[in-house]
Amino acid sequence: MSTLNRTTALAAALALVAGCAAHRSAEAPQPAYSGSKLGLGSTPTSAELAHYFSYPADGRGLPPGSGSYAQGQKVYQAKCMACHGEKLEGTKIGDKLIGGRGTLVNNSPAKPPVKTVESYWPYASTLFDYVKRSMPFNAPGSLSDDEVYALAAYILGEANIVPKGQTMNAAALASVQMPNRNGFVSPDPRPDVH
């Protein structure tokens, strides 16, 4: 980055801080010092940073590797089925993963909407990110990237979102169009009651 860019960035950041300070609640506590940088902390090594991951909707940063529907089915049966059910229908412990399309438009208190990966989740990247970081519940973070790709191929295949022959990898996952891709609205419209 050029010096000019760096200066611009700093100015932009300072402007943001100043802009926020203007509408900040007057009684929010302020630190006794907020001057120049303090020089605290150390620089993490690239090996340390490589330990972390998070994949936004465009799939940037998704790791190498791949997995098929058939491989995913095996992983699912061994590590997921106990909680999510033989047919991905969910159990007392694990969420239902497929089905529910067409149930989101509803204004009846008697009829619950069915929110699943298939019907509700807007991005396939989220499926990869979440399964890799938190699943399975009894051994979180234990799956290999290939296993997670395979599970994505299996779950999205069972959900009829991608063909069952589709192998999942970084590019394929990022290009999946989820059924509820356009189902979310922001920014927050509240206050909505006056």
Footprint of another protein on residues 141-180 (CB under 8 A)?
Answer: 141
Of residues 72-91, those binding another protein (CB under 8 A): 90
Q: Is there binding between residue 3 and another protein (CB under 8 A)?
A: no
Q: Is there binding between residue 137 and another protein (CB under 8 A)?
A: yes
HEC assignment per residue over 56-80: CCCCCCCCCCCECHHHHHHHHHHHC
Question: Positive or negative CA dihedral for 91, 119, 150, 146?
Answer: negative
Q: CB-wise, 78 or 93, nearer to another protein?
A: 93
> Can you tell me the distance from the alpha carbon of 92 to that of 86, in angstroms, rounded to the nearest whole number?
13
Q: CB-wise, 74 or 115, nearer to another protein?
A: 115
By CB under 8 A, name the one of 3, 4, 64, 186 that touches another protein: 186
Q: Is there binding between residue 101 and another protein (CB under 8 A)?
A: no
Of residues 26-45, those binding another protein (CB under 8 A): 27-34, 37-44
> Can you tell me the distance from the alpha carbon of 75 to that of 52, in angstroms, rounded to the nearest whole number?
24
Per-residue DSSP letter, 82: H
Cis peptide before 29 (omega within 30 of 0): no
Of residues 117-136, those binding another protein (CB under 8 A): 117, 120-123, 125-126, 129-130, 133-134
> Which range touches another protein (CB under 8 A), out of 7-15, 73-81, 157-165, 166-174?
7-15
Short-list 122, 128, 160, 155, CA closest to 59: 128
